[in-house]
């Protein structure tokens, strides 16, 4: 059971890591993280995220034991590595975390494990969006009750081509079901995977109707014109869904990016943010180019490839485990 102590819920436990462990999330030749104090926000509307400095957020991989369950010990260790290695926040159970292959009870138990392990809930934005309102409410209410900064919510994605009003009705039913003033929702737009996205007009309607609740969007479409349109919604925090658009997003006043490859290349991507915030823009451009090239060499599917890489770096074979329909990348 998680302790009821308020200090245990709200203060992050800093992991003591060996130099080798601290660099597990580094690419070869990338800067070793020195864990400086994170930079203060210098632009964009971050009022809804007072604990999220501008920077790199990792959608954390979900490790599985050989027998199949979520490996809570590895999960906590990896979360600590990421936060100590350059990430400013984490997204449990996004696409990278194989969210739709993990059961509801497994998700809540894994989130509890992170909190029991000393991970600050104000640095967490769990994915909670499912195809129906009751299950989405259940996961979202649990995250809010745990003190998480926000939740990342997919649209209802099973029935294709929903109307704008249908999408609005779905999310408003979730908001009403959670019924908690602490609720902060970041919409999750990844139509090429989900088959359904959050259109710009729907995001605008939801934010304008619930400005203190629908506070941001993660755009993983890979279409910068679409991302730029989200930036046109006054007061909405916008995260591009990869480091490829990191500098464009920061220049537009955004909080940074949420990138899958933060799991294995955090320090190099975080270094791009550091250079940008120091107005060393030419160097930031070069560093981002290196990070993009490194990402391109990881292979596909990306999640099994990153898990195999972590298994090799950590000399820990179970890290390569994935759930169907993914297949394990051979050693």
CATH of the domain at 81: 3.20.20.70
With 0-12 CB in 10 A as exposed, 13-18 as middle and 19+ as buried, what is 35? Answer: middle
Dump pLDDT digits (tens) for 8-23.
Answer: 343 333 332 222 233 4
* Residue 331 is assigned to a structural domain of this protein: no
Per-residue pLDDT tens digits for 216-245: 999 999 999 999 999 999 999 999 999 999
- The Cα–Cα gap between 42 and 62 comes to 32
Strands 237-240 and 256-258, by their bridges, are: unpaired
State the total domains in the chain. 1
If DSSP codes are grouped into helix, strand and coil, which group holds residue 273? helix
The Cα 74–Cα 249 span in angstroms is: 32
Q: Is 94 left (phi over 0), alpha (psi -120 to 50) or beta?
A: beta
- The 3-state DSSP class for residue 215 equals strand
Give domain status of residue 42, yes or no: no
236 in a structural domain = yes
Banded pLDDT at 53 (limits 50, 70, 90): confident
Is 111 part of any domain? yes
Q: CB-side exposure of 191: number of CA atoms within 13 Å?
A: 13
Residue 7, in any domain of the structure: no
pLDDT > 90 in the chain, percent? 83
List C-alpha distances in Å: 29 to 270, 286, 312.
14, 14, 17
Assigned domain for 166 exists = yes
Residue 138: pLDDT over 60: yes
Say how many residues make up the chain.
331
- Please indicate, yes or no, if residue 129 is contained in any of the structural domains: yes
Domain range for 72: 49-320
Residues 110 and 97: their CA atoms lie apart, in Å, by 11
- Read off the pLDDT of residues 176-197 as tens digits, 9 standing for 90 and up: 999 999 999 999 999 999 999 9
How many of the other CB atoms lie within 10 Å of CB of 129?
26
State both tokens at 53. Answer: 């400095």
Note the pLDDT of residue 97: 99
Which residues are CB-contacts of 142 (< 8 A; sequence separation ≥ 6)? Answer: 108, 111
Q: Is residue 205 part of a domain?
A: yes
Determine the Cα–Cα distance for residues 248 and 257; give it in Å rounded to an integer. Answer: 10
CA distance 263 to 265: 6
Give the mean pLDDT of the chain. 88
What is the number of other CB atoms lying within 10 angstroms of the CB of residue 274? 20
What mean pLDDT do residues 28-48 have? 39
Residue of 298, 259, 242, 266 lying closest to 23 (CA atoms) = 266
Residue 51 has what pLDDT? 54
């Amino acid at each position: 059971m998680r302790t009821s102590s308020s200090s245990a819920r709200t203060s992050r436990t800093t992991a003591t890591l060996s130099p080798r462990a601290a660099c597990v999330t580094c690419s070869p030749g990338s800067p070793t993280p020195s864990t400086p104090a994170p930079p203060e926000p210098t632009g964009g509307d971050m009022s809804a995220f007072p604990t999220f400095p501008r920077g790199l957020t990792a959608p954390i991989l979900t490790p599985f034991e050989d027998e199949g369950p979520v490996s809570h010990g590895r999960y906590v260790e990896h979360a600590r590595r990421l936060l100590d290695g350059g990430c400013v926040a984490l997204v449990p159970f996004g696409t990278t975390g194989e969210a739709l292959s993990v059961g509801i009870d497994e998700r809540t138990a894994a989130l509890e494990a992170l909190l029991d392990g000393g991970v600050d809930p104000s640095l967490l934005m769990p994915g909670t969006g499912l195809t129906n309102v009751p299950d989405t409410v259940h996961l979202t209410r649990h995250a809010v009750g745990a003190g998480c900064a926000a939740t990342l919510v997919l649209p209802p994605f099973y029935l294709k081509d929903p109307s704008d009003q249908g999408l609005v009705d779905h999310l408003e039913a979730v908001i009403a079901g959670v019924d908690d003033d602490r609720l902060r929702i970041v919409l999750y737009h990844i139509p090429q995977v989900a088959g359904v996205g959050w259109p710009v007009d729907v995001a605008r309607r939801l934010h304008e109707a619930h400005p203190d609740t629908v506070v941001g969007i993660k755009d993983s479409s890979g279409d910068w014109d679409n991302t730029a349109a989200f930036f046109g919604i006054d007061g909405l925090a916008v995260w591009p869904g990869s480091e490829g658009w990191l500098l464009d997003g920061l220049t537009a006043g955004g909080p940074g990016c949420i990138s899958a490859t933060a799991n294995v290349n955090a320090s190099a991507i975080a270094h791009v943010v550091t250079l940008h915030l120091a107005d060393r823009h030419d160097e930031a451009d070069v560093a981002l180019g290196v990070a993009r090239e490194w990402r391109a060499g990881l292979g596909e599917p990306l999640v099994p490839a990153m898990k195999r890489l972590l298994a090799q770096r950590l000399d820990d074979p179970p890290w390569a485990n994935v759930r169907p329909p993914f297949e394990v990348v051979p050693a």
